[in-house]
Amino acid sequence: DVALDQKLLSPLTKAILVNALQVRGLRFNKLSQQAVLRIMQSVRGTDFTALKNLLDGSGGYQNLYKLLYVDLISGSPLQRRLLKHIEDQGRVARASGGGRLGIKVLSDVDDTLYCSGGSFPAGCDRRFPKHMVYPGCLSLFRILDASADHQKPLQDSLDLRGVVSCNLIFLSARPHIYKDVAEG
C-alpha cells in the first residue's frame, strides 16, 4: 500500500505483482482480488495501456481476460469496478492518442498473411505459391498498427530500454506449429 500511495511502482512492477497474485490464486481470495483492483486502479492513461499489454503479452495462461472473467466473480462489485476503470482509461488513452491508440489487429496466418498453397489443413488458396506473403498485407498491417511507434521504445511508460510495442497479434488454429518454429 505504501509503495502505491507514494507512486514508487512502474507499470512493469505492477504487472509482475498482478501476475503473481493470479498465479497464487484469486478466485476465492477476496483480499488478493482487492489488492489487484487497487493496483490496477493506481494506473492511468497510456500507462494503463502499457499495463494491459504487459498482462496480455506474457504468452502464458495468466492474462487480462482471465483476470476479468475467471479470477473475479462475474457481476461482482470488484469486477464491475475494474471494467469501469478499463473503460474510463480507454477513453483517456484514445483522447490523448487522437482516437487510434490501443487498436489491436488480430490476424490469422494461413490464407490471411501468406498463401497456404492449398495444402490441408492450412488453407485452400492456390492463387499464389505456398508461403508467399500476400501483396499489400504487410502494408495494411503497418497502417492498422499506426498507433505503435516502432522507432520509439516505450521507456517513458515502462521504464524499459529498447522495448518496442506492437498491436499486431497472430492467431492460429495450429499454434504448436508456429511455436515450434518461433522457439526453434
What string of pLDDT tens digits covers the 184 residues of the chain?
888 888 899 999 999 999 999 999 998 899 999 999 999 999 998 889 889 988 987 777 899 999 999 999 889 999 999 999 999 998 887 787 666 655 677 888 888 888 888 877 767 888 889 889 899 988 888 777 665 554 544 444 444 444 445 677 777 776 655 555 445 4
Greatest distance between any 2 Cα atoms in the chain: 61
Q: Measured between alpha carbons, how far is 101 from 110 in angstroms, rounded to an integer? A: 27
Q: How many residues does the chain have?
A: 184
What pLDDT, on the 0 to 100 scale, is given for residue 152?
47
What pLDDT, on the 0 to 100 scale, is given for residue 41?
96
What pLDDT, on the 0 to 100 scale, is given for residue 147?
55
What pLDDT, on the 0 to 100 scale, is given for residue 80?
96
Helix (H, G, I), strand (E, B) or coil at 107: strand
For residue 51 the three cell numbers come to 499495463
- Please state whether the predicted TM-score (pTM) of the whole model is above 0.85: no
Amino acid at 33: Q
Show contacts of 100-106: CB within 8 Å, 24+ apart.
100/146, 100/147, 101/46, 101/49, 101/147, 102/49, 102/147, 102/167, 103/144, 103/145, 103/147, 103/167, 104/167, 104/168, 104/169, 105/141, 105/144, 105/145, 105/167, 105/168, 105/169, 106/169, 106/171
Pairing mode, if any, of strands 105-107 and 168-170? parallel
What pLDDT, on the 0 to 100 scale, is given for residue 70?
93
